[in-house]
Every structure is written in structure tokens, then in C-alpha cells.
Amino acid sequence: MTNTQRTALILGVTGQDGALLAADLLRQGWRVCGGFRRGHASKLWRLDELGILGKIELNNINLHEPFQVIEAVSKVKPHHIYHLAGESFVADSYQQPRSVLETNVLGTLNVLESMRIAAPEAKLFFASTAEVFGTPQRGQLLDESSPRQPINPYGISKLTAQQLVGIYREQHKLHTVSGMMFNHEGPLRAHNFVTRKITYNLARLAAESGPPMQLGAMDSCRDWGAAEDYMSVLPTLLDKVPPQDYVFATGTKTSVQEFLRLAAEAAGFSPAFDGEGVDMICRDTKSKRTLATVSPQYFRPFDTPPLIGNPDRLKQATGFKGSRSVARLAEDLIKVDIHRRKIGALHV
């Protein structure tokens, strides 16, 4: 490490966001250290695919162990801390509410305490979520001043953690920033998320015969941005603008049906939809094959209403130009999944 080289500690470096951020910081010449829990070697595939696995200093950090977090921060001496770790699946929070609360709240508290004790001059970014807002009024664009009334355990855990970040900013004068992240996708997304489930299966169907994919409600809508675009703005956000809360969003909503259509077209299919609700079917008009059907087993009993965000504060503060289009995002995902299938990388 040179005397002028800056150090970033990324907690959650093996996830989609952490891997993308690590790659971006390495390109900028940063020393990158990553939080890594032993026993999670299977999650290193993202770092490997990006070609950066050997360029990151991986540290064994369990956020449930406060002294281990303090020791890690003391050792690394980071200029920036990116807290991207934690539980992130809304449905799981109903099945394991205590685990989600402990991981997201106490884990964040341990990170903040380690910063206060061992790195008070560092700057921290905490990844919060749109789920802190709850149920908005119809058509309402959500911004930093919108009411925060989460309706699921995951949202509650993230709002509590976000409030802790604010307390340490105000009471301990630490440089802490929260980003309320609306849905953000990319080729490094796990395929239990619907966007990647769609492109993974379209790549399968394009390469071989097989059963159609099964999806939940086709009319479910999200504000889908690109993870790569959101991660690219984080260093500027910490270095050049006041520490506060920021919304990361596109301001537009897209349905599952529309994302499926865009991805299928990018894969070379000619998709058409028949039926409504649970009877809806997506077919390829060229081959007459069925690409997707609807299955009630994938309906969410407590589905989140459409949450659409207003990113104006982020844009004005950083010069961020916004996320790429959903059509471009779908094309990016399907190209990578088709390539993975060609080279036999089916485990990711």
C-alpha cells in the first residue's frame, strides 16, 4: 500500500452490491478489504467472475461479534466503510423475524460502535431499503421526507438500523450516510430474485428444450434500477456531499410481465401473452413454445405494494445521471446468463 492509497472496508463484499463496488474501487486505485464469514466460500463466485478475488483482502468478520468487528476495523484502518451486509429477503423476514432483526439491527450497531471506537475519522455508507416506507398513497413518489411506516419485519429491521445510523451522525458526530435502496438488479443477482430467475430460465430455454419457468403474479411492479449504476456513485456520495439520507431509485415502475417481455426479446424470442391472472401464459410466437406460466405457489401472501422513489436529492448532490433503462438492464442480464450457459457456469 502506498502512502497516498486509500482503504475501503466493504461489509458484504461477496454479495451483488459488494462485489460491484469492490471492482469499481479497485479500478480507482483503492485498497479494498472485505468482510467475509468462514463457511461462505460458495459465495465467492461473484468476485471470481469479476476477476478480483485475488485483489481483495478478505477478513473473517462476523457482525454478531462486536469485539471481532472492532478488531477488524482497528486492523484495516479504513477511510470508507460500506455496510452492505445483512438479511435482504423480505419473505424470509416473516419466517425468521428474530434472526433478521438481530442481524440487521445489532449487526449495524456493532459496526457503528467499531467506527466510533476505532475509526472515528472514517466515513460510512449504510444500505437501507425502500421497505422502510411501507404502503404509500397511490402514485406517490417516495423521497427522503416521506413517512416511514414499514409493514414487514425486514423493513422494521432496516428502519431501526437506519435510525441508529442517524443517531451516531447527530450525537457522535460521525460521518454516516444511509441510502434507501429501491430494487436494483444485475447479472450478479442471485436467481431466487425474480429478475434473475427470468433471465436464468430464458437462457436455459434458449439453449435447450425443457419445461417453462413458473412465476408469481405477473402484474406485481417494482422500481428496478441497475446495481452497477447505484454502486458507482457511493464513493462520491461519501467524499463530496453532506452526510444524510438519500433515495436510490429510478422514479418509474415496471411489472414482472414487462420485464419478462423485455428479457425474452433480448434473448431472441418473440413473446406474446395469453390469459389473465393465474391463467396467464407467455409463449414464443416463433417456436410456439411456452416460456412462462403463473403458479400460485409463488404468490407472496404479504407482497409489498409498488414502491416508486424520487432520486432528485441524490442527483442534485452528486451529479448522478440516473440508472440505465429497464430494457438495457434486462439485456445486460440475459447476455450474461446466455454466456454462462455456453461456458457451463450453471451454478451461479
Catalytic residues: 129, 131, 154
The closest of 261, 252, 249, 269 to 215, measured between CA atoms, is 261
SS3 82: strand
| Strands, E assignment, the chain | 7-11, 31-36, 57-60, 80-83, 123-129, 141-142, 175-181, 184-185, 213-215, 221-222, 225-226, 245-248, 254-255, 271-274, 281-284, 290-294, 308-309
The amino acid that residue 259 corresponds to is F
CA 90 to chain centroid: 12
SS3 268: coil
In sequence order, which residues have a C-beta less than 8 Å from that of residue 265 and are 6 or more positions away? Answer: 271
Q: Do 251 and 331 contact (CB within 8 A), yes or no? A: no
The closest of 48, 86, 109, 22 to 8, measured between CA atoms, is 22
* CA-angle at 300, arms to 272 and 228, nearest 5°: 70
Which string of DSSP letters, residue by residue, matches 88-155? Answer: --HHHHHHSHHHHHIIIIIHHHHHHHHHHHH-TTSEEEEEEEGGGS-SPPTTPEE-TTS-----SHHH
